[in-house]
Each structure stands twice: as C-alpha cells, then as structure tokens.
Chain A
C-alpha cells in the first residue's frame, strides 16, 4: 500500500510537469460531478492504557496489578476515493470512502509474576464512509490554477477485526483543508477538468474499537487525482 501511495505521488508530479502550461484557471464547475482517487496516510493514535486488576487482600480493599496494557492504533497507508458535486463555483458536497488497515498494538508490562514486557498485535480493516462539504477559498488562489480549500464532514466508521471475526461501528468526523491544482481544463468532452488535490485532515473517531470512552483524533494526509465531468 505504501508503494501505491508513492506511485500516486510520482504520477501526480509527472502530470504537473507535462500539462501545467497555459491552462485556464479552474475553480469548481457549477453543477458538475467530480471523482477523485488517491493514496492516504493516517497517523496512529492512543487507544488508552489499562490495568488488569485483581482485588488485593487488604482492608479496605484495593487493586492489585496483574499486568498493565497500553494500546495504540498504529499509522497506516490506505486509499481515499471521493465523489463531489459542485453546487456553486466554490462550494461542493462530497461522498467519500477511506480504507486503511492499521495495526492495533498492545504493549504489556508490569506482570506480577515477572513475565517480560512485550507487544501483541492485531490488524484492523477500517473504513470511513462520510459526507463532506468543500469550500474553495478563491481569493487565496495563486498562480491561477492552484486553489486552497477547506472541508469538513461526518460519517460512518466500520472496523473489521482480523479474520473478519467481529465488526465494530461508530462515527467519524473530520475537518481539514488542502490545495487543488488544475492540470487540464476543457470546455467540451466528457472529461472537463483533470487535476490533483492534496488534503490534510484531522479525523475524530467515536466508538468503534476503543478502550476508554474518549474520542480518538488521527491526523491524515492524502494526495489524489480528480476528474470533473
């Protein structure tokens, strides 16, 4: 998957070099559909420390630590696919699908009988299915074909444990922004616009796999090619 991400980035760079010359500026095209597909990297996040406790033999009662755990969801590459519909030249709504396969890593320590610390793992198959709003900041456009944007949305979190033995669900929220760079724009034909977009997002995951009641925040960056029809 990491190879796929790097390949995507190199393809985008190649495209920029080859078709960037003398293209008109490209804000969103009103009442047009747009699809994008690219690679994504999501940062890890802690899922919480925990203590395996027995009850100590004392009065008043207190805990006895059998061992401790500290679990985090590791960083992972994935893919990011989006379908957008431009309501105006600067405002679009999007439906997105993100898939990543992060590893759950639980570090075990402080065993009461002296077992050596170790880390045990499991791989998740994780999906975000979300709806977003994208707003182009046209007045910050630079070099005509590059436009920054901000975005935000919410959606459905679906996590499949290794071997698909269990499905856990929750909600995912995200805010972020990025830039869109137009590589090609035409006034006719099926494909009207071709470009690249780079996103940086903060994802907040609620429920799903979690070992405490707190929401988890993951940073993520993605690079995609988009095509408008």
Chain B
C-alpha cells in the first residue's frame, strides 16, 4: 500500500492520509521553534531505533508494525528541476549543480544507484505529483534551514516512490566553482540533500562550539553532518568515508559486503547500557572515520563498511548537534559521559563481523 506523505502533516499516519517526511539541513545557529517542530516531525517518523549502522538510515513503521528501511527499489531515479533560478544562480546553473551532486553519489564505486535528469518542470518541490522535484523555494520562516528533503513512501515495503528537495531562496546561493564569499555553495548543500533523498539520515561525525545565538560547526567528518559549513565553503562537494559507507550499505555493489567488515559491541556506564552514544571507528591505515550509534535498550551498536584491519574505537556523547537531528526527542539519550577509547585495537574481518566487545564509559 502506498501512503502519501504530505508536507506539514508528519505526526500521524493513517490509511489513506498523506504525510510528508522532511529532512532539514541547517545553517549554523539556533534552530527557531517553527523549524524544530518540522524537525521533530521528521524524527518521530523516521528515526525509529533499530540495530544501527554507520549512520542513521531512514526507517518507517509499516501498518503491520514492522520497521522498514526507506530506499529506492528502481533505478535510475528520475528527477526534475524547477525552471527557476535565484540571484547568482540561473536555472541552468542550478540544474548543472544538481546533476553534479547526483553524480557524486552515483559514482561511489561500492554502491549501485543511478539517477536520470528528466527535465525542467513548472511543478514545485513538495507537491505530491509522483515526480521527484528539486528547486528553490522561498521559506523565510525557516530562517536557519538551507534545504530540506521530503518523501512519498510505500509504507508496506519502505520503498521511496517520490522525493523532493527544496533550497531556501531566503539565503544567498552560489554555483561558482571556487565558491563565493557571503554565499552558500549550492552543490555542497545539494550533495547533503541528495544523501537524504537516498534514504540516509544524519551523521554525527563533527565538532561544534556554542556561540551567541546558536551552534557553530568547527569541523565535520561527513557530508551528512546536520549543520552546514559556512558560506563560500565547498568542502561538502566531496563525500567522506562515513557517507560512502552509508550509501554502500543501502545500495551495496555486488562485492561490497564480502570485502568490508563490521564492528559490533555495546556501550555501558556504571554497568548500565548507554543509549545514543556515538561510536567512531578509525582505521590508521586508510585514515577513514566511520561511525555509528548505540540504538537499543541494550546499548548495542554496529558499524559496517570498515576496511579489513585494525581500528581505534572512540566513544563520545552525542553533544555536537541537536539530539533531534538524530533521534526522537522523546528518547532518553545519554550524553553525560566522557570521551572513552576501547582499550584494544578492534580488527574488522573481511566479509564478517569482528569480535563483539564492550566499552565502559565513565560519567563526566
């Protein structure tokens, strides 16, 4: 059964009713209340805890109560672009930047996903029209939201049947190759939103600092980090290992699972399981950082897509972004503990799961 998900009605799902799921990319700064409501709606519907992976995958609960992962079943995914530019970015430049963003995900060698530009359209993003539309929209009330992604999902299978992306034309945008001072790089934000379109949630691989009026990103290790770099920064045009692990797990190439390994374990504090801990695996040979979360009542996590070999495991509290960027606000996320390293090197086998291990963290 296909259920339509309509923008702004994300809290209840019943047969025959449309519900739009949205994923938001924020710019640095505090999220205003109106935006938070939208974000909460997203996470209520999407971030249902389940044994987790190198990032959060979007999931939804079927009418029968099963949790299913969202994803496209047919490829190429056809997308339309609105025939409208904004100051600094023409419609043609917008389409070209979007094509590059789609191609960035399409060319991941360990994943199989394909896109096809279907043409310009006068339709708007977030219209339920069986077309995946990307375009600019003027959303001045979303004063911290650069872009957002919504879905139409078959909730019996988790199949995405339509996904739209809008970019908030309230901001200044640039499609210039080197980036432009004072303007956000369209392609960078597009790569992030296309990640959502594929079914990826947010990564927590990043560091932030609190500043007056909000939170500022100091560093990021994934395009799917929920808060954007500043204007003129084009770094998010390039996928990071955590992003690549994510899309490869959703759409694996034939040899992906047999050539990568996984780490599985549990995080505890004072003998009790920790929910919502961020667990990072660092491979000293490749320099890659791939992360996951503890996502169930037992404090268990699983990180997939690891290159075979030894890894350093670092566990940190989820304190570098708003918790509702990752989990349902109602869930009790433990963040009051110190950064802790597993006292052994964890070896990821080729095509399997390493020995299960526990990391005991200590309270701050």
Cβ contacts A to B, 27 pairs, < 8 Å = A52-B312, A54-B206, A57-B233, A59-B179, A59-B233, A61-B234, A64-B219, A66-B207, A66-B282, A67-B312, A104-B345, A108-B341, A112-B207, A112-B219, A113-B207, A115-B338, A115-B340, A118-B341, A118-B343, A120-B344, A121-B345, A122-B310, A122-B344, A165-B347, A165-B349, A165-B352, A211-B284
Residue B73, interface by CB 8 Å: no
Tally of contact residues, A, Cβ under 8 A:
39
| Closest chain B CB from A227 CB (angstroms) | 39
Report if A61-B235 is in contact (Cβ < 8 Å); known contacts: A120-B343, A121-B345: yes
Q: In chain A, residues 37-67, which have Cβ atoms closer than 8 Å to a Cβ of chain B?
A: 47-48, 50-59, 61, 64, 66-67
Interface residues of B toward A: which range?
Answer: 35 or more
Contact B310 A48 (CB under 8 A): no
Checking A57, A168, A211 against B219 with a beta-carbon cut-off of 8 angstroms, the contacting residue is A57
Give the complex CA separation of A121 and B345 in angstroms.
Answer: 5
Report if A161-B282 is in contact (Cβ < 8 Å); known contacts: A50-B287, A57-B233, A64-B218: no
Residue A184, interface by CB 8 Å: no
Which of A55, A104, A165 has the most C-beta atoms of chain B within 10 angstroms of its own C-beta?
A: A55
| Closest chain A CB from B344 CB (angstroms) | 6
Residue B51, interface by CB 8 Å: no
Q: In chain B, residues 326-353, which have Cβ atoms closer than 8 Å to a Cβ of chain A?
A: 338-345, 347-350, 352
Give the complex CA separation of A58 and B217 in angstroms.
Answer: 10
Which residues on the A side are within 8 Å of B206 (C-beta)?
54
Residue A222, interface by CB 8 Å: no
Residue A114, interface by CB 8 Å: yes
Residue A69, interface by CB 8 Å: yes
Which residues on the B side are within 8 Å of A163 (C-beta)?
347, 355
Q: Contact residues of A with B, CB < 8 Å?
A: 47-48, 50-59, 61, 64, 66-67, 69, 71, 104, 106, 108, 111-115, 118, 120-122, 161-163, 165-166, 168, 209-211
| Closest chain B CB from A101 CB (angstroms) | 15
| Closest chain A CB from B267 CB (angstroms) | 15
Additional pairs, 18, CB under 8 Å, beyond known A57-B216, A166-B261: A53-B289, A54-B221, A55-B235, A56-B218, A59-B232, A64-B207, A67-B314, A69-B312, A115-B314, A120-B342, A121-B345, A122-B347, A161-B309, A162-B344, A163-B355, A166-B308, A209-B309, A210-B285
